[in-house]
Each structure stands twice: as structure tokens, then as C-alpha cells.
Structure 1
């Protein structure tokens, strides 16, 4: 006699156990784009290297990091970290302190002497003009791909605006030099005090196969201010540049800085450290409209820098400056009021922006220049074949991070161009938004705060203001990452599935669904902490 269907011992043969036949929707594992990765101008796989850092494998984390960014010790100090502004954890408690973990990894690499391997020589030679962040990044990535690289730098030192535009209290020079040395050790040739007057001639003379233009914005913009000969009016670029020499600028006891960007704040803070009793920033709009980053403004205020909002300088006398008060119209633009006041000061520093010297491009055929910037296409190549450009030379936000991203993008496109190939941009995944997360599973973990130098030393020395993390708190901070949109093998889906339809594939291999048994209930989707599972129609 046949056994009753309900008590058959061959469970796998029972149609009743193939509950997948009831399903109208199915769960699917996905990799969504973490918002930190999406926001990084350098294109770092932030979540990827944080994953290795939180397991304590710092070298593996660093190696993942430097696939995209060759100078993490620098970037961890000077990047304005838009990744953190986009971090989903900020909606839960506080953002992950990404840039501080990056700095820790960079410093650890310098301490331990970690190096990178380059591909076999390609036989191609690329000229890079400018040893700033964009040029150094391009050289690094070109060497990774096996190309010979020579950098021609007009100045006496490497680093570009990282050295001549960022004060030592934000970026110690030993850190900058060590990061550059690693790039040189890869085989990059850097020729200092070697200004290129003619790009075409330089390429022909050196037998280069391509060129990347990475000249920084070192020319200060000026403003017409009626002044007598006795007035001391300087520009911010010259002041910061002279800080790298033996003779420091003589700014006097009272210093006025005219401008509202990060450079203006840097000069005002530098003046305090040089002994100025009063350092005053004059800006024509309000603090809310100021382009300088708020945390830099706050640090400057802590150090005794004074701010004069809604003001513009009209005239300079021998020992004073006439300032006109402004007011914002309904569109937020400053308008003169006719109300004047006098500020006593020994010097005025103009921090009104910078331009790039493009005279070296006079003989480059077909080049398109608009508003003092070189126009490039999607591949970073100009209208002249084999001539690429990035950083301050092209239309973009002028930050170290953007410049490093340009260098990487240009290098990969130069590599493709040299091989006669076309570099296809990877398809972006769907963004991992906060509503995709199940934050109930994450424990409370307060953000790790960086140590800060005491105010007295900040006002009198150029010691680094912000300290770094040690191995203990760097590990803690890395573990605050929510791994938005990407499976980190927490086993939640495996544990909550009522049909045992989730198959574990082993460490590092994640999971897969057995659709014979999955009935599409969606519990795994609802209970996935990081939003790495979605539901799709069974007809797809």
C-alpha cells in the first residue's frame, strides 16, 4: 500500500514542500551604491576599504584605498569630506568619521613603508606638466598601468597648491614629502624648476606619446582699490607661497584679509601665527553665504580671527582702510549702503581667487579655452589629440580631492587612448538611500572625535591642529560603517527565512536563494540591515 502523501519520507519529492510555486514576487541580492562612494570626487571605494579596516586588516584596507587615491595621508587631512555629508549614519546618530580613518591608514602606510606594484613597462612615455595633486595623481595611475612618466614642474618643490596654498598647521610638510616620495619610488621622474613654455615643443623634444596638463591656479586675482604708495597690499597666494621660504612675510601687528573663501581663512589664521595681534577677515556677504567651509571658519574664530561681514574695502590710506557696509537684496546679492567706516591696519591681503597661467598653450592647435579654462571632453582630452587636462585648468571645483580624481580619470583614459581602445565607464548601481536600511539592528556608537591642539599653541605655532586616531579608535570608527546597500554576511536573511530558502556559500561568498522553496514572503528584504536585498516581480 502506498504511503499517504502527507507523511512521505522523501520530503524533496513532495510538491507541498516546493513552496516556490506559490510565489508572485521573489527576493534578489543586489549591490547598491553607497552614498559615500557616490559623493567622493576621487572615486574611492570608501565602503570597500572601510570593510577591511573594520576587520583590522589595515594593509588590505590601504591597498583598496590606493587603487583610486595615491595620497590618503594627505587627503585624510585636507579633503572637505563630502562623503561624510552624504553618510546615511548621519540620520541615525552621527556620520562615520571617514576622513580620519583614511588619515590613519595613510599614516600607517608611511610608518610601515607599504609600497605598490606597477604593471610591466608598456613602452609608452607620458609627459605631465605640474607636480600638484592632479599631476601627481595622473603620474601615479599611469605608472600603475606600466607607462613611463616624466613630470615637469616650474617651481622648486613638488606639491603645487598642496604646498603653496595649504598651511603647515593643516598639512605637515613631512607628510606631503613622504606621499610624493612613494610616487617617485614607483619610477616617476620629476624635473623641478623646469617650466614648460611650449607644450608642442616639449612633447617633440622629449619624444612623449601623450601629455597631461595639470598647471595649478597660482595667479592671484586683483581688485582695484585706490591706494597710496605707502600701503602694504599683498595677495594671498604670495603670502602662503612665501611661507615655504626662509623669510616669512612681514604682515604687521594688525592685518586685514579681503575675501570669503578657504584661502582667506588660511591667510587670516597664518597671520595670527606670525604674531598679528588682530587678524580681520572682511567679506561682503554673511557667514551663511561665505564659500569657506564652516568648520574652518569656526576654527579661525576659536583662534581669535575676527570677521567683518557685509563689508567691502573701498579705499586704502597710509595706515588705515575705508570700508563700506553692505546689505543683501532679495536675491542674496550684496548692495552698497553708502555707510563708511575706517579700519586701522598695517597690511591688506587680497584673497579674491586665483587664475591659471595658460601661456604654455599658445601653440597647441585646436585647443578651446573659455573663461580662462581649458575645455575637455568626457575622457579629459582636449580638442587636440593626445593632450589631456585636469585640476585647476578645467571647469570644476578647485579642491585637492577633485584634482586627484581628475588625475586618475585622465590616466585611465590616456592608457586607453595609447592602446587605441575606448574606456567604458562602469554602470552605476542604484543609490543605497537611508529608507532601504533596517537600522534597528545597528547598535549605538558615538562618533570618535579627533584630538585638537590647544588654543595657545594654535595661535603661536604651526603645529598640526587636528590630531589623528590610534589603532584602537580607528578600528571602532571603521566599525560604525553601516555597509549601506552591500551584504556584509550578517546572516540575518539566513536566520529569518521561514522556508530555509537561503543558502550560505561560505566566508566572502555571501548567499543565494533556493527559489524552489522561497515563497516570496519578503521577510528577508524587510530584515536585511543594509538594504542588500530587493523584491522583484516573478515575471521578470
Structure 2
């Protein structure tokens, strides 16, 4: 029997019979938007992209995506204060995604499995000197090496890492983790010269023929304050205290220790004092807790470990075994003012945690540089006033965190690369923000964030073992899957399912969707029901 021709009979009134696209006054358009976590990351990580790989269980791809922007994920997963989580839209449903804990899991997994970054096959022939091996210097060296340049890092200390080693205690950052990530960077061919202080940056550049310099000397000098004191009073700064923990001999602070200041370094100093045997560690701060610069998590962990806080207080005199404290009060502008009320506080030693400064003596022969309030002024591309000399990290005006410094290193590397090639680096335009009001959170079920385990409280003050532990594989996978993919289509098929005109066409896995405008009447249902806000309704031309 001969086959009959195939035909479709259209019923009058069906969506296929009526080209409803003629009714349209606006049409849907698939868009890509900037996830708020990406926008908030000082290191410029593509967080949503590496979370996409992690939630499928492809941890190596996730790690490699992470390493495009940040060469220290295991470090950052421990010490970053995760502004990405503060910006996370997931709080509209339950809790922010534990981005920082997943980053730590990926960093630790890479160390455990020995994942490495391929060494560049070609070199540009250009040489760059990096002064300082802290987070900014290591980040710049890493990215410059991947861009094909020869890089030499000179570090005044005997070990690399800068303030990550000499300012962050071991209970927050184990040294074997730091060393593993530094070793991965030097394995790319980055030269590392330890115990080599650069006294004159221009002389060092000329002597060895460097084509550019990146300054990342950090802020390793503790600020001092004048405190009238008796001859036997024991006063030291927090930077010296924390740095001395890398040596063979532990400092002797006594049983009663007062820490003067209110930042994260003050919290580290007080918690370190407890671990060194202090039965009473008290933080003396001139303002109230809500005005304290230390992060809340640092304050909470210090309180858990028995550190006392003496708010609205300042040290007026120090003598052997005791301090004279004056009570303060805040004026209408929030500034502390003396009250004339005094009290005594027993203390065997005083640790000053009043901020830090950079050693800028290496710049004394560079008159073109502008230094304001102890910080080197730089242009948008982090170049100083002297051509070919760039600077970043704690020595330039910015928030002083490891994450900011890592971001500076990457940014400087890209601008140095452009400078060496005689071009200009253009990062290009950014997508608009995927704000929370663009999402349809009804489609996301409650899944409270995973909590990282911590070391038993009874063991904390008797050991420098790491306090905050990492996630295991199953928990990290669960946490990654809590990401809502804000602003970018993840092919949930909602638009395909709710379209009343069958105008949504699936292009295949990983290819997204397109709109058949012959049938789309512009009802906007697809945009309204898109969970991640990846569809805009635009006026029809």
C-alpha cells in the first residue's frame, strides 16, 4: 500500500493556527546578568561559574575556573571575610550560599589530589620584579607568569607569605596549606628570592634589567602610641607578637594580658595570648562593640575562648603589673570623649594593636611617587607616578584584607602585561546586576546553609590547631547546589512549560532557548516565572 502524504490539520483557534505574534507590544529577551556574589568579590572571581561546576560534582573544573582569578583558594577559603555571601540573594529564601566553605573544600581537594596549573609554553622575553611575597605579590606573580612573562619575587623575610604567615595565626591558617599553595605558584617558574630586602627599587630595577616592577611590601610595621609607662612596664606591638610565633621561641606575656585596639589584629593577639597561657586576656577599646572595626565572627570566636572586652576605655598609664584605665563616652558624632573616671586593670603586659604601616624606604629615590598618610597613591591601573612601577595590597589606599590584595595582584598583572606589550588593558563592559527583586524565589525550596564544624572549645586555648574545619564532599556538593544562578539561565524549563503559545524553543543541553516570535504574543509569563531573572521584556520595535 502506498504511503499517504503526512499532513497536519490545524483546528481553528489553536495557537498554531493563529500567529499571535501580531498582538505583541513587547517581547521577551534572554539576558545575562551579573550575580551579586561576583560583583561583591574583591578578587574578581567568577563565583557562579565555578559553583556551576561544583554542583555537578566536577570539582577539578570548578577549581580550575577558580584558579583563573585566585591562585590561593585554600587560603582564601579560610581567611576571606566573604563579602560575596553578604551580597548573596539566597538570603531571600533562607541563608546565603556557603561560598567560602566551598572554596576551601576545592582548595583543599586540589592540594590532596595534586592538581597543578600548566606551565606556559612560551615567554614574552619581558622581566618583572615583584617586591613582597604576600597575597598581592604572589597573585601578581602568578598571573604575570601565566601571561608569559618572567617573574622574580624578592622577599625580605626568611619565609614567603607576607602577613599571611607573619600576621595570621596558625589556628586560622595552617602553614602547610599556605606552603602548598605557594609551592604551586613557584612551580610555574616564578623565581623566589628570600631574605632579600630591596632598599632602592630603581637601583634594583636597573641592576637586573627588569622591564616593570610591582610593589607589594604590605603593612608590616605596627603603629605605636605614646603611653606614659614605668621603667618595668612590658609593652609590645601586635605585629611583633604575631610575627614572633614563627620563630623557635614563644614570647612570654604573663598570665594577665591587655590588648589595646579593636580590629581583627587585636582579636588575633588576644586569642594568641590565651594560647600562650594567659588566664586573663582583655581587649581595651575606646568605643562600643557596634563601632568596632573587627569582624563579628572574630569577636564572637574571641569571646567564646574567654577573651574579655572592656568597651569605652583607654589606657592612660602603664606600670609593672597594672594599668590605669580612663572611661570614655561617645559624643553626638560618635567620637569617644574622656569622662575623668579612672580605674585600675591588672596586666603583666600590654599589646598594642593600633594599626599597621608600610615600610616605604625603598621609594626614597623615586620622587615621582605620591605618598599620602603613609600610602602610595596609584592610578586606576595601579601604576604609580613613576612609569613602569605599579603598587597594590596594603601599601595603597584600600581595605586591608587578603582578598583585596589578591584582587590587586590580578588587576596589576593585567595592566603590567598591557604596559609591557605597548597596549592598554580594557576589561570591557559589565552586565547589569541580578538584583533580588528580579528573581522568582517561589521556585527555590528551603535548604538551610551547612555549618562548618569547629574544634572543641576545651581544646582551643591549649593548642594552635585549626579552629574552623572544612566541609566533606557530600556537604560541599549540597552547599553548591543551593546556588540560585541569579541572572543567568540554568535551563530549568520553566519558560518552556508555562508559555501558553508554545513559542519557546529548546536548543538542546547547554544551548538555552530561543523565542518563535511568530507565536509569542508578549504576555510576559515566561519572564514572571523565570526563577533566576534571566528574561527581560523589552518594547517591540
Query: Which TM-score bucket, shorter chain as reference?
Result: over 0.9
In 2, are the aligned partners of 1:118 and 1:145 still within 8 Å (CA)?
no
Cα distance in structure 2, aligned partners of 1:350 and 1:15: 77
Query: Superposition pairs for residues 175-190 of structure 1, below 5 Å?
Result: 175-190=177-192
Matched, 1:102 2:86: no
Pick aligned residue for 1:533 from 528, 532, 535: 535
Match of 1:3 in 2: none
Q: Residues 90-131 of structure 1: CA distance to partner in whole angstroms, max 9, x if unpaired? A: 121111111000000000001111111243211111100000
Match of 1:42 in 2: 43
TM-score by length of 2: 0.97
Cα distance in structure 2, aligned partners of 1:63 and 1:122: 24
Cα displacement (A) at 1:443: 1.2
Matched, 1:520 2:522: yes
Cα distance in structure 2, aligned partners of 1:278 and 1:509: 62
Cα displacement (A) at 1:10: 11
Q: Residues 47-85 of structure 1: CA distance to partner in whole angstroms, max 9, x if unpaired? A: 110011000000000011110000000000000000011
Cα displacement (A) at 1:212: 0.2
Cα displacement (A) at 1:425: 2.2
Query: Superposition pairs for residues 433-448 of structure 1, below 5 Å?
Result: 433-448=435-450
TM-score by length of 1: 0.97
Match of 1:421 in 2: 423
SS in structure 2 at match of 1:360? helix
- Count, aligned residues: 531
Query: Superposition pairs for residues 193-232 of structure 1, below 5 Å?
Result: 193-232=195-234
Cα displacement (A) at 1:18: 2.1
The alignment yields a C-alpha RMSD, in angstroms, of: 1.3
Q: Which runs of 5+ in 1 are unaligned?
A: 1-6
Match of 1:21 in 2: 22
SS in structure 1 at match of 2:461? helix
Cα displacement (A) at 1:15: 9.4
Match of 1:393 in 2: 395
SS in structure 2 at match of 1:156? coil
Matched, 1:452 2:454: yes
Cα distance in structure 2, aligned partners of 1:220 and 1:364: 24
In 1, are the aligned partners of 2:11 and 2:17 still within 8 Å (CA)?
no
SS in structure 1 at match of 2:197? coil
Match of 2:336 in 1: 334
Cα distance in structure 2, aligned partners of 1:428 and 1:315: 54
Cα distance in structure 2, aligned partners of 1:27 and 1:86: 27
Cα displacement (A) at 1:424: 0.8
Match of 1:4 in 2: none
Q: Residues 342-371 of structure 1: CA distance to partner in whole angstroms, max 9, x if unpaired? A: 011100000000000101011124111111
Query: Superposition pairs for residues 46-445 of structure 1, below 5 Å?
Result: 46-119=47-120, 120-445=122-447
Cα distance in structure 2, aligned partners of 1:411 and 1:153: 18
Cα distance in structure 1, aligned partners of 2:470 and 2:446: 23
Cα distance in structure 1, aligned partners of 2:509 and 2:115: 27
In 2, are the aligned partners of 1:33 and 1:430 still within 8 Å (CA)?
yes
In 2, are the aligned partners of 1:118 and 1:146 still within 8 Å (CA)?
no
